[in-house]
Amino acid sequence: MSSRSKEADFSDDLFSDTRMSFGDHIEALRTHMWRALIGFVVALVFSLLLGRPLVEFIARPVDNALEKFHSRRVEEVSKQLDGGDPNLTHANLARDMEVTINHKQLAEALGLKAPAPGQPEWIDLSLRIKPVDMAVVLAEAERKVVRPATLSTLTVTEAFVVYFKVSVYCGIVLASPWIFYQLWMFVAAGLYPHEKRYVNVYLPFSLGLFLAGVFLCEFLVLPKAVDYLLSFNDWMGVEPNLRLSDWLTFAIVTPLMFGLSFQTPLVMLFLNRLGLVSVDMYTKHRRMALFALACVAVILSASPDAISYLSLVIPMWALYEFGIVLCRFMPRPEAAGDVPEEDEMVEV
């Protein structure tokens, strides 16, 4: 082939000005990774300064639940004391008591005449002790109930490790917009303009669903789940001794699983757009899909209690129905519509 024909073939290549070599791709990836890492380090330094408030925020649901658990125990013992439980101290009941008092000293204390000679030196008196006030009853209840349970550590380094883990997680969350931006800048170089528009629409939607799942779990599910699980301690009559590191894992993994499960409508829309699953298949096999989501909820739920499970599976069922509606309103374009225009192809 002549040099002129080679130049003609090269001029017909729409991507001749935008083509990158493998080395250029690696260099671009390295640049964006370094920028993402620098952003994460800056967010981590900031998070280390806020580590203690973050640990207190994460521990607040279980601390509140333990405080309620302790108050419940105190109230139960107080009712038993106030009701004259024979197994407890009768602190609120009037009781008759026989006491022996020195006759002469009693007369002097009451301002009476001294006893005549020949009278007994000691006399027996019957006294009735009146009931004590409720403050004494509560004090007795507090004494009988174990001190309020708090999150505990079992090793010397556990508190430091938990502090650092929380700071790292917070740093990832704070730096995530910058990290995703760098990732997007690297990926966007290989997308058509119409593909970029899809990402710009669905990415905020995906983030909103993820945050909705996280907030639902953090502010509604976790407090109720902890109260429910601690109620078994009440029922079995055992004292809870919760470990800080275990609670940290539970408190972080559970909201994460909720956030991921809330991506169900987008996954359904993605499969529909690829042509793998149609809307009719979603509706026809609804029962099977709901059963599959129930099984997935068992795996994603970090706690075996019914409240956590139902709080996850019911929104997933609702999101499945929302995914069907989303697929109907955003149907898969025709094959001809998938081909990008020529002006779009050169703007890579």
Residue 235, pLDDT above cutoff 90: no
Mean pLDDT for all residues in the chain: 75
- Domain extent for 105: 94-130
Task: Please enumerate in sequence order all residues whose Cβ is within 8 A of that of 134, keeping only pairs 6 or more positions apart, or say none.
Answer: 78, 82
pTM beyond 0.75, yes or no? no
121/289: higher pLDDT: 289
Burial class of 238 by CB neighbour count within 10 A (0 to 12, 13 to 18, 19+) = exposed
Residue 295 in domain: no
pLDDT, one tens digit per residue, over 315-325 is 889 999 999 98
pLDDT higher than 60, residue 345: no
Concatenate the DSSP letters of all residues of 293-342 into one string.
HHHHHHHH-SS-SHHHHHHHHHHHHHHHHHHHHHHHHSPPPPGGGGSPPH
Tens-digit pLDDT profile for residues 156-208: 888 888 888 888 888 887 887 888 788 777 777 666 676 677 777 777 888 78
Does the residue 252 lie in any domain?
Answer: no
40 within domain boundaries: no
Whether residue 164 lies inside any domain: the answer is: no
Q: Is residue 43 part of a domain?
A: no
Structural domain total, the chain: 1
| Residue 18 located in a structural domain | no
